[in-house]
Amino acid sequence: MSNNVTMEKLTALAKSRGFVYPGSEIYGGLANSWDYGPLGVELKRNIVEAWWKRFVTSRKDMVGIDAAIIMNPKVWDASGHTSEFTDPLVECKKCHTRFRADQIDIASTCTNCGAKDEFTQSKNFNLMFKTFLGSTEDDSSVAYLRGELAQGMFVDFPLVVQTSRKRVPFGIAQIGKCFRNEITPGNFIFRTREFNLMEFEYFVNPSEWEKWFEYWLNEMKSWLLFLGVKEDQFVLTEIPDGERAHYSKRTVDIEYHYPFGQKELYGIAYRTDFDLKNHMEKSGKDMRYMDPMNNEKYIPHVIEPTFGIDRSVLVTLLSAYTEEEAPTAEEGETDSRIVLKLPKALAPFKIAILPLSKKPELNAVAEPIAEKLRARWSVDYDETQSIGKRYRRQDEIGTPYCVTVDFDSLNDHAVTIRDRDSMKQVRIKIDELEQWFGANL
């Protein structure tokens, strides 16, 4: 990475500034569980809302749904998840620590206890989170927390076609939580057992799948640029035969250069008619689509672009994180600053209002400005500590603009706007602020 970011630096900043906290911390935490704090939740919402607008509401060929997390367990049998949704697992015979067999060299040393060559044979471990519905805990009450969003879109396909009257090609999108009993979660919010996902199933005529696969792969790349990820920070990896998920005939992973290595960020899969066909067989319901042009009935094929939300937050933060030498408030002096160069649309606060001191006459000017701007943008108000420290704090949380109200403001009815990235300052009349931000945010 070119910006010196490490996972230690990022997790420390995330915690101290209220982006992401360790989960259940007062009880000593819970391994690999994380909570989004006040700024993290804003960043995540900004990402999710931008995604929904870009891929759903601004398109005529897409609709959304919000399906239940717990579905009829027959769904997961038909989709192959109860039998195929597995990772290969080995266990150290000495300390009983479990590892994913595809992530370690099983002829090597246990990283937990140092035992050599002491791993069990690899066996498949199912990732679905099992639970029981109601008061009895037997086979008849078994249910699963969904392991992927996709099945909601597949089982609702006939109803969506009927009610939305969309014609192929079109997509069904969904955002929500998924659950996987991961063997080796870790690396902050990269791999957790509950995580947030946004994805869509794009239904196409089988003859057109290649065209749509390329189209959506390009759209995914341009979405990444929108998040502030640079082109040299990610690579496309074609997943070979034998390594793809059980439902996929072609998969390309978009991998990111994380501080802990090059790993998956997003994926796009060609799921063929695998899911609709299986649901048609197992449910007995007709899952075919009737082409109104020629009255031909067929099962559409599916292109599935999938975007992990937590990984989106992670790469947005990693890509924005910058350490640089910058001038201080003192004439001619510099020091090093951390600045999150977040895209403006994603920044938790767009504007910070900073009265130069706590004097009531400055507050009397600054507070109405904050109130007015808050009607359109998310605004922070900070009057504690020196102005230099407050600038640095806003830099660290990625606020694009700081507005300083000083004693001259009382006479010239103007304020200073400081740009986060260039640190350039401009003097603007208070009456013109809304118009200025309208043009710049």
| Comparison of 217 and 290: residue with beta carbon closer to ligand GAP | 217
Q: Quote the least distance from Cβ 182 to ligand GAP, whole Å.
A: 5
Given a contact cutoff of 8 angstroms between Cβ atoms, the answer to whether 382 and 399 are in contact is no
> Does residue 306 interact with ligand GAP by CB under 6 A?
yes
- Give residue number: closest CB to ligand GAP: 308
Sorted by sequence, the CB contacts under 8 Å of residue 293 that are 6+ apart come out as none
Q: Quote the least distance from Cβ 304 to ligand GAP, whole Å.
A: 6
Q: Quote the least distance from Cβ 310 to ligand GAP, whole Å.
A: 5
Instruction: From residue 237, give the alpha-carbon distance in Å to each of 201, 243, 253, 305.
Output: 21, 12, 5, 14
Q: Which two tokens stand for residue 55?
A: 């891929």
Q: How far apart are CA 436 and CA 78, in angstroms?
A: 56
Among 421, 399, 410, 419, residue whose Cα is nearest residue 352: 399
Q: Quote the least distance from Cβ 35 to ligand GAP, whole Å.
A: 15
> Does residue 308 interact with ligand GAP by CB under 6 A?
yes
| Comparison of 144 and 401: residue with beta carbon closer to ligand GAP | 144
Binding window for ligand GAP (CB under 6 A); candidates: 19-27, 202-210, 305-313, 344-352: 305-313
Residues 150-169 that bind ligand GAP (CB under 6 A): 150
| Comparison of 68 and 375: residue with beta carbon closer to ligand GAP | 68
Q: What is the contact mask toward ligand GAP in residues 84 to 123, using x (rule: CB under 6 A)?
A: ----------------------------------------
Residues 179-218 that bind ligand GAP (CB under 6 A): 180, 182, 191-192, 195, 197, 199
Q: Is 158 helix (H, G, I), strand (E, B) or coil?
A: helix
The dihedral built from the CA positions of residue 56, 59, 62 and 63, taken in this order, carries a sign that is positive
Given a contact cutoff of 8 angstroms between Cβ atoms, the answer to whether 210 and 103 are in contact is no
> Does residue 146 interact with ligand GAP by CB under 6 A?
no
Helix axes 38-52, 309-320, angle to 10 degrees: 110
Q: Kindly determine how many residues on this chain lie close enough to bind ligand GAP according to the rule CB under 6 A.
A: 18
Given a contact cutoff of 8 angstroms between Cβ atoms, the answer to whether 183 and 100 are in contact is yes
Residues 264-283 that bind ligand GAP (CB under 6 A): 264-267
Q: How far apart are CA 326 and CA 334, in angstroms?
A: 5
Instruction: From residue 128, give the alpha-carbon distance in Å to each of 73, 87, 425.
Output: 11, 11, 54
Q: Quote the least distance from Cβ 370 to ligand GAP, whole Å.
A: 37
Q: Quote the least distance from Cβ 45 to ligand GAP, whole Å.
A: 18
Residues engaged in binding ligand GAP (CB under 6 A): 148, 150, 180, 182, 191-192, 195, 197, 199, 264-267, 304, 306, 308, 310-311
